[in-house]
């Protein structure tokens, strides 16, 4: 006999209690309720336009769904595992509230296109929220870069001192990473913004539906083109997780630098206490927990991407129950990315640069050695010969424990007689960074120009 399931007509025994719990998704997909109701309101309005519902029935459905939404938001709605998911919970509540008209709402659609529509609507809304945090993080980086346009620090390769750069220039490298991440979010949103509603179970429907109408009502750019693909496609979820994983990779790299820079061995920056914690046993400790957690959450994000890729890799068309497993990784990916970007956006503007520590560090490791080689080349020496000359000068400096800028002119001329007194213009840290005066260079005026371009770019998204 029927078990009072909305789909239970052909079944002769009730669902096993464990199977009911095992297959239910209501514990996590209830967060779709706004999007599910929004989609149902659009579908009902279209059914009325098509002559499938009359005006009175549409009004009853609209009133009932609005009341249910208010009840959910007030925390008074009773979710039932027996009704499996958010869609059937809301439909059952609607039927109980307005009677037989509630049963007409599902005409011309399936849970397959319903969930495909809901998840696109939900992810679109979430991308809009995440985008705002991404813009905040970028703006915080750029404004700090403005403040530190002339602050000199060592630039590293292999985590060894390479050449002097400005702190502002280093920060703008972070901005460029997030700028690409932002563009990927925009691209992902654009591709997902097609409406599957009307694809029904897999083949479309025999009812005279108007897919363009519901697509427009829900703010989609267009309906999806193929009903089979419409209900089974989860590319948009995978693409979002890929973009999120790459963004977290960038945030992790930035966090690693913050962790290093706050250490006593570097002491390049200070993080306010509110972004740190202490030790239960060592009273002197101030641990950079926020960047450490962001760094750690990157692994979880990578796992969500792999989970979704694996979920979809062997599925035949069209919808399969496997697809229920798309939601928990996607939900957590959205929450994690949003919160990590928010944490970064809050934290970066509060960073304080220890300028003297940065400058002193840049004086170590012969950071201006390349500048000396370039100086010799300008004087007419082939670069390979200049490289060898400077290498010998550095070796002398290592033995003497003195930087190139600390050597006398006579000492430098022991390695090449074409070195003149003007060499000290390029051996200073300030001279070195100022010489990189081109687009993308570390010169302070280039940093300031880059921050102005960045702020103009960001303002275009808030206009």
Write the DSSP string, 381-420. --HHHHHHHHHHHHHHHHHHT--GGGS-HHHHHTT-TT--
Backbone angles phi, psi at 166, to 5 degrees: -95, 150
Residue the block writes with tokens 């003007």: 422
* Architecture in CATH for domain 8-107: Orthogonal Bundle (1.10)
**Inter-axis angle of helices 235-262 and 289-312, to 10 degrees?**
160
d(CA 453, CA 446): 11
Any alpha helices (H) in 193-320, and if so which ranges?
211-217, 227-232, 235-262, 289-312
DSSP states of 313-370 as a string? TTPPSS--GGGGGGHHHHHHHHHHHHHHHHHHHHHGGG-EE-HHHHHHHHTTTTTTHH
| 250 carries an active-site annotation | no
pLDDT at 18: 81
Question: Residue 169's beta-bridge partner residues?
Answer: none
Which CATH number fits the domain 112-360, given the four candidates 3.10.310.30, 2.10.109.10, 1.20.200.10, 3.40.50.2300? 1.20.200.10
Nearest to 215 by CA among 198, 232, 203, 240: 198
Segment-wise mean pLDDT, segments of 10 residues, the chain, 463 residues: 53 76 90 98 98 98 98 97 95 97 97 97 98 98 98 96 96 98 98 98 97 98 98 98 98 98 96 87 88 97 98 95 95 98 96 97 91 94 95 94 92 94 91 94 98 96 74
Closest-CA residue to 257 (of 165, 188, 334, 143): 165
Strands 194-195 and 160-166: unpaired
Look-up of token digits 């969930």: 115
The ranges assigned to domains in the chain are: 8-107, 112-360, 369-427
Q: Is 158 an active-site residue?
A: yes
Q: What is the DSSP string of 202-235?
A: TT--SS---HHHHHHHTT-SEE-S-HHHHHH--H
In the three-class reduction of DSSP (H, G, I as helix; E, B as strand; rest coil), residue 157 is classed as strand
269 backbone φψ class: left, alpha, beta (φ>0; ψ -120 to 50): beta
Q: In this predicted structure, what is the pLDDT of residue 3?
A: 47
Q: Which of 158, 408, 460, 462 is catalytic?
A: 158
Q: 354 — phi, psi (to 5°)?
A: -90, 85
User: What pLDDT shows up at residue 23?
Assistant: 80
Q: How many Cα atoms are found within 13 Å in the side-chain-facing hemisphere of 314?
A: 3
Catalytic residue among 56, 183, 279, 457: 279
pLDDT at 5: 61
Element (H, E) at 194: strand 194-195
Record: fold of 369-427: Ribonucleotide Reductase Protein R1; domain 1 (1.10.40)
182 within 8 A of 131, measured Cβ to Cβ: yes
pLDDT given at position 92: 96
State how far the alpha carbon of 240 is from the alpha carbons of 35, 236, 345, in Å.
Answer: 18, 6, 20
């Amino acid at each position: 006999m029927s078990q009072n399931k909305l789909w239970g007509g052909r079944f002769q025994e009730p669902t096993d209690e464990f199977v009911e719990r095992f297959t239910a998704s209501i514990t996590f997909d209830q967060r779709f309720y706004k999007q599910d109701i929004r989609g149902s309101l659009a579908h009902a309005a279209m059914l009325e336009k098509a002559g499938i519902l009359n005006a009175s029935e549409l009004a009853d459905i609209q009133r009932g769904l609005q009341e249910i939404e208010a009840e959910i938001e007030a925390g008074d709605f009773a979710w039932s595992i027996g009704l499996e998911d958010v869609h059937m919970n809301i439909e059952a509540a609607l039927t109980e509230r307005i009677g037989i008209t509630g049963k007409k709402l599902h005409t011309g659609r399936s849970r397959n296109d319903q969930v495909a529509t809901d998840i696109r609507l939900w992810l679109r809304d979430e991308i809009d929220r995440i985008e705002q945090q991404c813009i905040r993080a970028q703006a915080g980086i750029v404004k700090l870069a403005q403040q530190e346009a002339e602050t000199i620090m060592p630039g590293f390769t292999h985590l060894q001192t390479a050449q002097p750069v400005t702190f502002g220039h280093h920060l703008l490298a972070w901005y460029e990473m997030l700028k690409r991440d932002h563009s990927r979010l925009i691209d992902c949103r654009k591709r997902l913004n097609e409406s599957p509603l009307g694809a029904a179970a897999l083949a479309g429907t025999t009812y005279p539906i108007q897919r363009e109408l519901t697509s427009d009502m829900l703010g989609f750019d267009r309906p999806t083109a193929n009903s089979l693909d419409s209900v089974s496609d989860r590319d948009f979820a995978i693409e979002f997780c890929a973009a999120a994983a790459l963004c977290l990779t960038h945030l992790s790299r930035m966090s690693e630098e913050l962790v290093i820079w706050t250490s006593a061995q570097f002491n390049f920056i200070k993080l306010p206490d509110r972004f740190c914690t202490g030790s239960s046993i060592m009273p002197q400790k101030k641990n950079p927990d926020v960047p450490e957690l962001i760094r750690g959450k990157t692994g979880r994000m990578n796992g969500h991407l792999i989970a979704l890729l694996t979920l979809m890799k062997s599925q035949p068309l069209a919808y399969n129950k496997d697809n229920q497993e798309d939601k928990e990784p996607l939900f957590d990916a959205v929450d994690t990315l949003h919160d990590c970007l928010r944490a970064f956006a809050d934290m970066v503007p509060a960073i304080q640069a220890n300028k003297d520590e940065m400058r002193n560090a840049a004086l170590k490791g012969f950071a201006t050695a390349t500048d000396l080689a370039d100086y010799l080349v300008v004087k007419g020496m082939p670069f390979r010969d200049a490289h060898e000359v400077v290498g010998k000068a550095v070796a002398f400096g290592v033995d003497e424990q003195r930087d190139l800028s600390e050597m006398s002119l006579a000492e430098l001329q022991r390695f090449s007689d074409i070195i003149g007194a003007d060499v000290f213009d390029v051996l200073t840290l300030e001279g070195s960074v100022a010489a990189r005066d081109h687009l993308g260079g570390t010169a302070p005026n280039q940093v300031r120009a880059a921050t102005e371009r960045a702020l103009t770019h960001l303002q275009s998204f808030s206009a």
